[in-house]
Amino acid sequence: MNPGARHALGAVLFAFAGTAACDDPGVECVCADPTIFITVPADRAATVVDVQLSGQGCATSPVACLEPVGSGCAKLAFRGTAVGSCMVDVELDSGPTFDESFELVPYPCCPGVYGELASGNTIAVPDLPDDGGATE
């Protein structure tokens, strides 16, 4: 068996064994941090007026500023509270509101819910002048 095929087979067996191990109460799973991050370019951080969360998965989640910049915040974070949709609206005083919608889902064997985002666990507010996800 060539090394590439052996590695692929090993990965499949490891994944299967990991799934089966989650059913064993004596085995601890390795889980990712379910925190969702919102990043704002430093030059726009002071223009963030408000961040609103809505939807079944995150409406009651508190949002915390992790990286204050002047009078604003360049990095915020929250965790989903339930399986379901989540809408993040970042209101900026310099341009339209930026919004992002995604689903929060459970992972087998892991506590919490995880965002199904194309960028992993980060929502990035775009820099000016292109607000690709903006609405007016």
Which ranges constitute the DSSP H helices of 3-61?
3-22
**53 neighbors 86 (Cβ within 8 angstroms):** yes
39 φ/ψ angles, rounded to the nearest 5 degrees: -105, 140
What are the strands, taking DSSP E only, across 25-121? 36-39, 48-54, 64-69, 72-78, 84-92, 97-105, 114-115
Confidence of residue 128 (pLDDT cuts 50, 70, 90): confident
Confidence of residue 71 (pLDDT cuts 50, 70, 90): confident
% pLDDT > 70, the chain: 74
Looking at every residue in the chain, the average pLDDT score rounds to: 80
Residues 131 and 2: their CA atoms lie apart, in Å, by 48
